[in-house]
């Protein structure tokens, strides 16, 4: 057993770095010290560097990190939360943000 435990987590900022650096920290796994470091450290650092420089390949590098993490099965999602928002024809300017949800300051209601 790999020391499995349930936890919940939500991103404070919608960025791949937030996800991979928060959910997959460097921890020894069953006497295999630094498994995360050996597998993901270099690709994560490459993606961070490309992102900081504003290079166009940052997205592709983060996709490679995601594939690598998936192949290693370092974490397994059990729940993918969804939300449903009901609106009315009177609501105008509805805007949804992937992290904050409905942005009421952007909308108006007509009578």
Say if residues 9 and 23 touch (Cβ distance below 8 Å).
Answer: yes
Q: Are 107 and 92 spatial neighbours (Cβ–Cβ below 8 Å)?
A: yes
Task: Output the pLDDT for position 64.
Answer: 93
Residue boundaries of the structural domains of the chain: 16-72, 81-111
Contacts 24+ apart (CB under 8 A), 7-16: 11/99, 13/99, 14/98, 14/99, 16/47, 16/62, 16/65, 16/66
pLDDT at 2 (0 to 100) = 46
Model confidence pLDDT, tens digit, residues 76-102: 666 666 777 888 889 999 998 877 888
CA distances (Å), 70 to each of 20, 66, 77, 84, 106, in order? 11, 6, 11, 28, 37
pLDDT 10s digits, 2-51 = 445 556 666 677 788 877 776 665 454 445 555 555 677 888 889 999 99
């Amino acid at each position: 057993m790999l020391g499995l435990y349930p936890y919940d987590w939500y991103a404070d900022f919608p960025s791949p770095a937030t996800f991979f650096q928060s959910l997959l920290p460097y921890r020894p796994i069953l006497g295999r010290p630094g498994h995360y470091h050996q597998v993901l450290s270099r690709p994560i650092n490459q993606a961070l560097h490309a992102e900081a420089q504003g290079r166009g390949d940052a997205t592709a590098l983060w996709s490679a990190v995601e594939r690598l993490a998936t192949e290693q099965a370092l974490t397994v999602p059990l729940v993918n939360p969804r939300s449903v928002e009901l609106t009315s024809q009177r609501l105008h300017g509805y805007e949804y943000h992937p992290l904050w949800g409905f942005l009421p300051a952007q909308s108006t209601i007509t009578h």
